């Protein structure tokens, strides 16, 4: 995940390959709650690991639910079987609507039955997201619910510590025209009170009914049907279908009369299905479906293949496929897989009711930037109460590319840019804004796109950008490189690694390649003056970088690599032209999306002469000797400052006086003498120079 301030996505050119999606957020959080409420344990496979599921898992653990990772990667949730081992808790639910709404309903009912009291809160935005319609429905039932801040919004207090009699005889009325999550919350919670019977299995302690047997329940089978009536036109119906589908998997069959009336049968009881896999996230699939539709296929590839979700998905957002086809995408698929290629180009403008795909429809807004006319997305009023006001957000950000955008209470109309500009995309702590605007990097003007706060994708797809960069290609010249060259111990490595980390770029420590060649020569008994022998070794170095360690043919050389003696040998090895040529292609291969910071002696002069920023870093020989001395002593290595100074001067002389690619500043390098600068000051200087080189320097 890119936990950085902003990520600059270079202009992208083509795409091809296979993407495996993380689990669906909607299914993951529903299944977690159902598993926790059930009798018996449930092994959940392919669960989404993201902010929102972690919030749900933490809440369930606080409520006394035992959760254990399994050897096969599944997560085992031991169900509470309708019991309530923890009767009081304060739960923090971040900005996870899929945790806040269902937990509100389930805990309001359980607190009322068992006499508990719970407080549910979230981040500031969560406290701006309405929940009044659900609160009203729960109060109708007789559940004590207090809004602790503004009426109709979290934070909430559920229950007052005393058991309540619930009014289950009358239909429970809930509005369906603001968010379908209120109805989902009631559907998930009400089976808890559909029977008066208490289970003989599970009193907060999980046990699994023996295979093939039905759990036995104590007491007579009393209870009553519970009816929910939807007030107003129900929106986002596919999400209700997911809910009903999953209830069925946990042995609760809800009867549905149209979309207005739902009946939970008397005597039903959640029972674990044993094992349940989570499908890939269909909303997340939308970015890669759009990618396949927008990008010309990388030569040799057949477009984009998505695995983990397909045409038999139970998720409503799978219907994004239909919308993308309307815009011209060429999509085929199987039960659990999709194949996407560019079809019509430019994409075809659409006028579409998007009520059935509220989340994925945001991706259509970005596809609309590439269409042959204005596109209108209608019936999307629910966007206004999501992670942010998504209609306002999409309008503001699309305009940064030069699009004309009109917005209304429940629609957005986007006219593609006649002349593309670019901008720094504000992401409003909204994962979907960040993900969908990354696709604007395919703009025909070849402009990069800056995504602010890219880590917001952690809500549903922590590795989104890594996954995107794996299947996208762009010419090497479009991938930015920052070169940091300079003499030994000037701080190049430290500076390069810090700058790379802050920008989310790849890192090339080119000196390590010469050092590894020297160690390989030592191992093989090759003389340091044997140019052909050294070149042969350099051409096939069995080098691997793993977990911050360096391996040479399986041997961990992390420590020997950094020895001063190895640096001296590397300096000798690096004088040979054949060795330098043998390492050339390997160094170029580090130029990968989204960018590279490379340190060495000839990064700016020879390897990446087209780099937009070249820094020549230096410091006085005395300063450098002192730093090296301090560095060695801190590692417990004995060192003498005078001999370090002498070695360093000798290495400087050899590196800068050799015939091939000598150490010297590139003509267009910026000089940075950090003799009197701390590390952070040097880093800031380079970042400032870099910012000045980008097209975002004005924004």
Ligand X SMILES: Nc1ccn([C@H]2C[C@H](O)[C@@H](COP(=O)(O)O)O2)c(=O)n1
Residue 627 CB, nearest approach to ligand ATP (Å) = 3
Q: Which does 600 bind (CB under 5 to 8 A by kind): ligand ATP, ligand X, none?
A: ligand X
**Angle (deg, nearest 10), helices 25-37 and 51-62:** 10
Quick count: other Cβ atoms within 10 Å of Cβ 637? Answer: 13
Q: How far is the CB of 692 from ligand ATP (least distance, A)?
A: 21
Q: Is 382 annotated as a binding residue?
A: no
Whether 359 is a known active-site residue: answer yes
CA dist 121 → 51, 63, 92, 176 (Å): 15, 15, 5, 23
Give yes or no for residue 601 binding ligand X (CB under 6 A).
Answer: yes
Assess 574 for contact with ligand ATP (CB under 6 A).
no
Q: Is 602 in the site for ligand X (CB under 6 A)?
A: yes
Closest CA to 553 of 545, 544, 566: 544
What percent of the residues of the chain are helix, what percent strand, and what percent coil, each to the nearest 5?
A: 40, 20, 40
Find which of ligand X, ligand ATP, none residue 571 binds, CB within 5 to 8 Å per kind: ligand X
Is 236 annotated as ligand-binding? Answer: yes
State yes or no: residue 685 binds ligand ATP (CB under 6 A): no
Q: Which residue is nearest to ligand ATP (CB)?
A: 491
CB of 489 to ligand ATP, least distance (A): 5
Q: Does 626 bind ligand ATP (CB under 6 A)?
A: no
Is residue 572 a contact residue for ligand ATP (CB under 6 A)?
Answer: no
To ligand ATP, the closest distance from the beta carbon of 651 in angstroms equals 8
Residue tagged 């002389």 (tokens): 653
Total number of residues shown for the chain: 699
125 marked among binding-site residues:
no
Q: 386 among the known binding-site residues? A: yes
Q: What is the DSSP string of 236-275?
A: -HHHHHHHHHHHHHTT---EEETTTEEEEPTT---B--SE
Stretch that binds ligand ATP, among 57-65, 358-366, 581-589, 674-682 (CB under 6 A): 674-682
Q: CB-wise, 165 or 634, nearer to ligand ATP?
A: 634
Minimum separation from the CB atom of position 364 to ligand ATP (A): 47
Whole-angstrom CA distances from 504 to 291, 450, 594 are 22, 12, 7
Which of ligand X, ligand ATP, none lies near 390, with the C-beta cut-off 5 to 8 A by kind?
A: none
To the question of whether residue 129 is assigned a binding role by annotation, the answer is: yes
Binding track over 154-183 against ligand X, x by CB under 6 A: ------------------------------
Dihedrals phi, psi of 570, to nearest 5 degrees: -60, -40
Residue nearest to ligand X (CB): 511
Shortest distance (Å) from residue 581 CB to ligand X: 12
Specify the stretch interacting with ligand ATP by CB under 6 A; choose among 2-10, 120-128, 265-273, 626-634.
626-634
488 makes contact with ligand X (CB under 6 A): yes
Site for ligand ATP in 539-568 (CB under 6 A): 567
- Work out how close the CB of 578 gets to ligand ATP at its nearest, in angstroms, rounded to a whole number: 22
Which of residues 155 and 533 has its CB atom nearest to ligand X in the complex?
533
Nearest partner of 76 among 49, 27, 43, judged by Cα: 43
| Residue 536 structure tokens | 């042969």
DSSP 8-state symbol, 406 = E
- Is residue 493 annotated as involved in ligand binding? yes
Q: Pick the catalytic residue: 359, 599, 652, 655?
A: 359
How many Cβ atoms are within 10 Å of 545's Cβ, its own excluded?
Answer: 12
Give burial (CB, 10 Å; 0-12/13-18/19+) of 472: buried
**Residue 255: which of 220, 226, 222 has the closest Cα?**
226
- Closer to ligand ATP at the Cβ: 8 or 652? 652
Residue 486 marked ligand-binding: yes
* 510 touches, from ligand X, ligand ATP, none (C-beta below 5 to 8 Å by class): ligand X
Site residues for ligand X, 539-558, by CB under 6 A, read: none
Residue whose C-alpha is closest to residue 232's, from 186, 191, 169, 182? 182
Q: How far apart are CA 267 and CA 445, in angstroms?
A: 63
**CB 579, min distance to ligand ATP, A:** 17
Contact code string over 500-519 relative to ligand ATP, x by CB under 6 A: -----------x--------
Distance CA 632, CA 628 (A): 6
Closer residue to ligand X in complex, CB, 423/567: 567
Which does residue 574 bind out of ligand ATP, ligand X, none, counting CB within 5 to 8 angstroms by kind? Answer: ligand X
Q: 204 and 81 in contact (C-beta within 8 Å)?
A: yes
Contact 535, 581 (CB under 8 A): yes
Q: Which residues contact 403 (CB under 8 A, 6 or more apart)?
A: 368, 369, 414, 415, 416, 417
State in angstroms the smallest separation of the CB of 507 from ligand ATP: 12
Q: How many CB atoms lie within 10 A of CB 95?
A: 24
Maximum C-alpha span of the chain: 94
Number of Cβ within 10 Å of residue 460's Cβ equals 26
**Interaction mask 460-499, ligand ATP, x per CB under 6 A:** ----------------------------xxxxxxx-----
Contact call for residue 651 and ligand X (CB under 6 A): yes
Q: How far is the CB of 611 from ligand ATP (least distance, A)?
A: 18
Q: Is 494 annotated as a binding residue?
A: yes
Query: Helix or strand or coil: residue 527?
Result: coil
The answer to whether 631 contacts ligand ATP (rule: CB under 6 A) is yes
Query: Distance between alpha carbon 79 and the CA centroid of its chain, in Å?
Result: 29
The 3-state secondary structure of 465-502 reads HHHHHHHEECCHHHCCEEEEECCCCCCHHHHHHHHHHH
- By CB under 6 A, residue 112 contacts ligand ATP: no
Tell the smallest beta-carbon distance from residue 415 to ligand X (Å). Answer: 50
384 interacts with ligand ATP by CB under 6 A: no
Helices then strands (H, E): number in the chain?
Answer: 21, 34
Closest CA to 492 of 514, 466, 510, 513: 510
Residue 123 neighbours by CB distance under 10 Å? 14
- The DSSP code for 149 is S
Per-residue x/- marks for ligand X, 491-530, CB under 6 A? Answer: -------------------xx--xx---------------
The verdict on 600 binding ligand X (CB under 6 A) reads yes
Bridge partners of 90, per DSSP, are 119
> Cα dihedral sign for 511, 514, 518, 524?
positive
Using CA of residue 84, residue 88, residue 89, residue 90, what is the dihedral sign? positive
Angle at 370 between CA 383 and CA 448, to 5 degrees: 90
Number of residues in contact with ligand X, rule: CB under 6 A?
15
Angle at the Cα of 476 (from 474 to 477), degrees rounded to 5?
105
Task: Please pick, from the candidates 359, 407, 430, 655, the single residue that binds ligand X as defined by CB under 6 A.
Answer: 655
Partner in contact with 601, chosen from ligand X, ligand ATP, none, beta carbon below 5 to 8 Å by kind: ligand X
CA geometry: angle 469, 471, 473, nearest 5 deg: 75
Contact partner at residue 490 from ligand X, ligand ATP, none, CB < 5 to 8 Å by partner kind: ligand ATP
Q: Mark the binding-site residues for phosphoenolpyruvate, compressed into ranges.
A: 25, 97, 129, 181, 390, 432, 459
- For ligand ATP, the binding residues (CB under 6 A) are 488-494, 511, 567, 627-628, 631, 674, 677-679, 682
Which residues are known to be catalytic? 359
Q: Mark the binding-site residues for ATP, compressed into ranges.
A: 486-494
Q: Mark the binding-site residues, compressed into ranges.
A: 25-26, 30, 97, 129, 179-181, 236, 359, 386, 390, 432, 459, 486-494
Q: Mark the binding-site residues for 3-phosphoshikimate, compressed into ranges.
A: 25-26, 30, 179-181, 236, 359, 386
- For ligand X, the binding residues (CB under 6 A) are 488, 510-511, 514-515, 567, 570-571, 574, 600-603, 651, 655
């Amino acid at each position: 995940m890119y936990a950085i301030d902003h990520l600059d996505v270079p202009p992208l050119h083509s795409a091809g390959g296979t993407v495996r999606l993380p689990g669906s957020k909607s299914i993951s959080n529903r299944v977690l709650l159902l598993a926790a409420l059930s009798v018996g344990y449930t092994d959940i496979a392919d669960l989404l690991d993201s902010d929102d599921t972690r919030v749900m898992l933490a809440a369930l653990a606080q409520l006394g639910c035992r959760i254990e990772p399994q050897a096969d990667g599944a997560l085992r949730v031991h169900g509470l079987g309708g019991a309530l081992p923890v009767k009081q808790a304060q739960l923090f639910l971040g900005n996870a609507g899929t945790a806040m709404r269902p937990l509100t309903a389930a805990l309001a009912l359980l607190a009322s039955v068992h006499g508990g009291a719970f407080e549910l809160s979230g981040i500031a935005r969560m406290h701006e997201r309405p929940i009044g319609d659900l609160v009203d429905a729960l109060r109708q039932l007789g559940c004590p619910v207090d809004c602790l801040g503004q009426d109709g919004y979290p934070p909430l207090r559920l229950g007052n510590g005393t058991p309540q009699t619930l009014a289950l005889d009358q239909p429970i009325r809930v509005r369906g025209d603001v968010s379908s999550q209120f109805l989902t919350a009631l559907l998930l919670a009400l089976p808890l009170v559909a029977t008066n019977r208490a289970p003989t299995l599970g009193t907060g302690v999980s046990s699994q009914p023996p295979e093939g047997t039905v759990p036995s329940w104590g007491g007579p089978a009393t209870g009553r049907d519970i009816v929910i009536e939807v007030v107003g036109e129900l929106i986002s119906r596919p999400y209700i279908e997911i809910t009903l589908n999953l209830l069925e998997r946990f042995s609760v069959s809800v009867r549905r009369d149209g979309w207005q009336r739902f009946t939970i049968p008397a005597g039903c009881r959640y029972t674990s299905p044993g094992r349940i896999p989570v499908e890939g996230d269909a909303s997340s699939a939308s970015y890669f479906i759009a990618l396949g539709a927008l990008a010309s296929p990388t030569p040799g590839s057949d477009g984009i293949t998505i695995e983990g979700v397909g045409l038999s998905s139970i998720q409503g957002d799978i219907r994004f496929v239909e919308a993308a086809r309307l815009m011209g995408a060429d999509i085929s698929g199987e039960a659990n897989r999709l194949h996407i290629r560019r079809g019509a180009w430019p994409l075809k403008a659409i006028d579409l009711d998007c009520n059935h795909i509220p989340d994925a429809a945001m991706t259509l807004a970005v596809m609309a930037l590439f269409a042959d006319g204005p596109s209108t997305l209608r019936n999307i009023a629910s966007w206004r109460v999501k992670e942010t006001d998504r209609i306002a957000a999409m309008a503001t950000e699309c305009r940064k590319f030069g699009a004309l955008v009109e917005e209304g209470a429940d629609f957005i109309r986007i006219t593609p840019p006649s002349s593309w500009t670019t901008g720094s995309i504000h992401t409003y702590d909204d994962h979907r804004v960040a993900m969908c605007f990354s696709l604007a990097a395919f703009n025909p003007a070849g402009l990069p796109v800056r995504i602010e706060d890219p880590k917001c994708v952690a809500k549903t797809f922590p590795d989104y950008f890594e996954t995107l960069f794996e299947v996208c290609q762009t010419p090497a010249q479009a991938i930015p490189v920052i070169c940091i060259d300079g003499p030994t111990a000037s701080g190049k490595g430290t500076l390069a690694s810090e700058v790379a980390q802050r920008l989310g770029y790849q890192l090339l420590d080119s000196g390590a390649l010469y050092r590894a060649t020297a160690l390989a020569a030592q191992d093989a008994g090759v003389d340091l003056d044997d140019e052909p022998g050294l070149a042969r070794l350099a051409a096939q170095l069995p080098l691997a970088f793993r977990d911050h360690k360096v391996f040479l043919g399986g041997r961990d050389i992390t420590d020997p690599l950094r020895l001063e003696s190895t640096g001296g040998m590397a300096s000798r090895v690096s004088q040979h032209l054949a060795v330098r040529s043998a390492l050339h292609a390997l160094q170029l291969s580090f130029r990968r999306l989204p960018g590279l910071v490379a340190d060495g002696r000839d990064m700016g002069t020879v390897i990446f002469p087209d780099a937009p920023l070249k820094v020549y870093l230096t410091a006085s020989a005395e300063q450098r000797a002192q730093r090296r001395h301090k560095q060695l002593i801190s590692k417990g290595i004995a060192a003498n400052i005078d001999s370090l100074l002498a070695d360093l001067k000798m290495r400087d002389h050899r590196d800068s006086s050799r015939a091939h690619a000598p150490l010297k500043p590139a003509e267009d390098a910026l000089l940075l003498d950090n003799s009197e600068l701390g590390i952070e000051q040097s880093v800031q200087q380079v970042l400032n120079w870099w910012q000045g080189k980008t097209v975002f320097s004005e924004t």
